Amino acid sequence: MDVLRRKPHPLVLGLLLAAVVAAAGAGLANNHFTFLLTGAAVSTVFMQSYGLITGRAGVISLCQLSFAAIGAWVVGWANVAGLPGGFYVWLLLGGLAATVAGVLIGLPALRLRGVNLAVATFAFALALDVVFTGIPYPGQGNYNFVQRPAGFTTDSEYFVFTVIVVTVIFIGLRQLDRTRTGGALVEIRHSERAAAAHGISVAKGKLTAFALSAFVAGVGGGLMAGQLGIVTAGNFAAFASVSFFAIALFVGTNNIEGAIAGGLMGALFPVLLDALGVPQDLAVLFFAVGAVQVLRLGGSQTDLIRAGRRRKKAARRGSLPIPHANPKPIVPLRLRAPRDTADATPALEVRDLRVRFGALTAVDGVSLVVPRGHVVGLVGPNGAGKSTLINAVTGFTADYSGQVLLNGRRVDGVAAHRRARLGLRRSFQQLRVPEQLTVGMFVQVAAGRTLSGEELDEQLALFECPAADVPIDTVDVATRRLLEVAGLAAGRPPVLLLDEPAAGHSGTETELLQRRLAEIPERFGTAVLLVEHDIELVRSTCDSVVVLDFGRVIAFGPPDEVLADPAVIAAYLGSAAH
């Protein structure tokens, strides 16, 4: 993914520099100060773990310090047992043990969201508190302190070691952010339905977030064991998890500067309160107020600062969006006459589909065919059942009767994300493009495959979207809609269902969409079912049109014929036609 390759983050370089400076000054530093800074570095690792699960994947977890406790206890046990490999191996083992716990907690938590998930993870944290309070820490009885790694045995040297670990984790997280898995986590946070529509398994994504974040927390716990020599259950109390969660939410620890700020706050704020004679427990109150601010402002401090900077930068650049320089000339395909649908093989077939909401039959025995290489329009007045039909076809409404066949194979009973992977892709009426991603990353995620830099640039140019590295939150809504179609088409699925892709478009944008929609079958080998209220767009791009009214098909055929049908005019076009 060479297009997503960037320079090393200045803060990563800064951290490495800090480690070198600290190494040079080893022995000169004040012991207590070094101890506090090491604590801040360890807390930064905890914050990185929150940045993964909550900041990136949007999953509430109140038990990250329990994973840290597991990491710390494994390191303590390995130290006492004299496990070969030394501290480095023990630290990794601690991380891996925490990962196992992360998966075990993540599995039952997959069905939970919001408050329920918070309660479940907090209950786990409390349970682990009780377990660890009852067992002495390995080596506690005979003061068998954890052996730090060679070369990092003094406090100053160990501080350098913790900074190196923090830096390595930052680099790892940055790499993750550049992969489609990283993009998928962000999309899950933004909209689980959109993620599923792009073929992403939300369950797998959340489980990955639990596993990776538990690994990072476990490593953090192991680091703490190395710092303190012997830890106790009190170092990882359930309430500490809650305060760290609140800090993470407030500062936004998915961002590198947020994780560092959060680490400093988590380690130093209680010490500051203590110095001022204020009970340390009150720290959690301050952090909770900060977390509530996030709900009010709609974003963490670092997210808001970053978004503000991006907008300023975009404003300085002047024109938004910036059309990307096209590496290859696009050969425009002529808007052609409607293709003959009679003999074409069906890409999508819907047979006698029925969806009921209580007493209301929203889709009432609809049968239709979208042939390969064709664009079929699906129109009808508001409430006719168009979106409900798309939801059922793509598996977002599982409760329907009838049959859906993709390339002749029945997909009923197949989950939405699996249908998407089989090639039944869709967009939503309400735009669901995550603002946190760059244009390029979104296209990769929506396509469900990794595009080469050249292919990505070409696709963006084709849809006149901004360059791959432009953040989506600096792009206007109409361009985001085009971007969504560009991303979905880039996946070259056999069938694409577009739900009002021209909503909110100006004349110029609709014109571009019109040209691109007409070309999609030839360019991408994709058959399209287009739901649109813009009748001229339907007329100019579709090979055939299906008209729904009160959940039933009232007309089907070539666009000009169908749209001139008096029954259709009466049901739908009415005043607009006259």
Give contact residues for ligand ATP (rule: CB under 6 A). 357, 360, 362, 380, 382-388, 429
What CA–CA distance (Å, rounded) separates 16 from 163? Answer: 7
49 neighbors 64 (Cβ within 8 angstroms): yes
* Least Cβ distance, residue 573 to ligand ATP (angstroms): 14
Alpha helices in 338-432 (DSSP H): 386-393, 416-422
Q: Name the residue nearer to ligand ATP (CB basis): 388 or 544.
A: 388
Q: Name the residue nearer to ligand ATP (CB basis): 179 or 429.
A: 429
Question: Tokens 């407030």 map to which residue?
Answer: 250
Alpha helices in 31-154 (DSSP H): 31-50, 64-81, 86-109, 114-134
Q: Name the residue nearer to ligand ATP (CB basis): 182 or 380.
A: 380
Q: Name the residue nearer to ligand ATP (CB basis): 49 or 388.
A: 388
* Least Cβ distance, residue 551 to ligand ATP (angstroms): 7
Q: Name the residue nearer to ligand ATP (CB basis): 383 or 558.
A: 383
* Least Cβ distance, residue 566 to ligand ATP (angstroms): 21
Kindly report whether the peptide bond that precedes residue 321 is cis, defined as omega within 30 degrees of 0.
Answer: yes
Q: Name the residue nearer to ligand ATP (CB basis): 379 or 486.
A: 379
Backbone angles phi, psi at 370, to 5 degrees: -110, 105
Tell me the two tokens of residue 235: 């170092």
* Least Cβ distance, residue 500 to ligand ATP (angstroms): 7
3-state secondary structure of 74: helix
* Least Cβ distance, residue 490 to ligand ATP (angstroms): 26
CA dihedral 394, 389, 113, 290 (to 10 degrees): 110
What CA–CA distance (Å, rounded) separates 424 from 500? Answer: 17
* Least Cβ distance, residue 197 to ligand ATP (angstroms): 16
Backbone angles phi, psi at 139, to 5 degrees: 90, -5
Cβ-proximal residues to 416 (8 Å cutoff; 6+ apart), any chain: 193, 196, 197, 394, 395, 396
270 neighbors 280 (Cβ within 8 angstroms): yes
How many CA atoms does the CB half-sphere of 438 hold within 13 Å? 19
* Least Cβ distance, residue 163 to ligand ATP (angstroms): 52
How many CA atoms does the CB half-sphere of 46 hold within 13 Å? 40
* Least Cβ distance, residue 379 to ligand ATP (angstroms): 9
Q: Name the residue nearer to ligand ATP (CB basis): 133 or 430.
A: 430
Q: Name the residue nearer to ligand ATP (CB basis): 362 or 528.
A: 362
